[in-house]
């Protein structure tokens, strides 16, 4: 079955540590996105990539980094520079067609201890 796989589903981190969240898709989608969601909040865009080896900052990119070395993969690193990293992180992809529909992974919940 086609879809988006995020891992890990739950992650605990000590302050000062970098962590990397994995996102893999087999939908053959060109564009991939990372969103952050805090309780009672909408989704806020961290980074997005429309093609391999290229990515753009979203609204809240500070303290995060990404790479796009393969079409299928778009990992997100939460660095120690991110002051409040505890959140629900969602990876998404789209074909870039007329609908603009986003397909989401199941999410990764990061808790900083």
Partner 1 sequence: QKEVEQNSGPLSVPEGAIASLNCTYSDRGSQSFFWYRQYSGKSPELIMFIYSNGDKEDGRFTAQLNKASQYVSLLIRDSQPSDSATYLCAVNYGGSQGNLIFGKGTKLSVKP
Q: Minimum Å distance from CB 82 to partner 1?
A: 20
Query: What is the distance in angstroms between the CA of the first residue and the CA of the last residue of the chain?
Result: 36
* Comparison of 63 and 107: residue with beta carbon closer to partner 1: 107
Q: Which residues contact 8 (CB under 8 A, 6 or more apart)?
A: 21, 22, 108
Q: Minimum Å distance from CB 31 to partner 1?
A: 5
Q: Which residues contact 98 (CB under 8 A, 6 or more apart)?
A: none
Give yes or no for residue 106 binding partner 1 (CB under 8 A): yes
Rg of the chain on CA atoms, in Å: 13
Looking only at residues 27 through 86 of this chain, which bind partner 1 when binding is defined by CB under 8 A?
31, 33, 35, 40-45, 48, 50, 56, 58
- CB 33 within 8 Å of CB 93: yes
Give yes or no for residue 97 binding partner 1 (CB under 8 A): yes
Task: Name the residue among 23, 25, 33 with its Cα closest to residue 60.
Answer: 33
Q: Minimum Å distance from CB 63 to partner 1?
A: 20
Q: Minimum Å distance from CB 100 to partner 1?
A: 4
* Residues that bind partner 1 in the complex, under the rule CB under 8 A: 31, 33, 35, 40-45, 48, 50, 56, 58, 90, 92-97, 99-102, 104-107
């Amino acid at each position: 079955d086609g879809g988006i796989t995020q891992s890990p589903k739950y992650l605990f981190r000590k302050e000062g540590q970098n962590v990397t969240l994995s996102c893999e898709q087999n939908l053959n989608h060109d564009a991939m996105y990372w969103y952050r969601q805090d309780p009672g909040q909408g989704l806020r865009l961290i980074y997005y990539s429309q093609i391999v080896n290229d990515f753009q900052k979203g609204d809240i990119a500070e303290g995060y980094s990404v790479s796009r070395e393969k079409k299928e993969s778009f990992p997100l690193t939460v660095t120690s520079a991110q002051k409040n990293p505890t959140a629900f992180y969602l990876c998404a992809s789209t074909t870039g067609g007329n609908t603009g529909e986003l397909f989401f992974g199941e999410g990764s919940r990061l808790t900083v201890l």
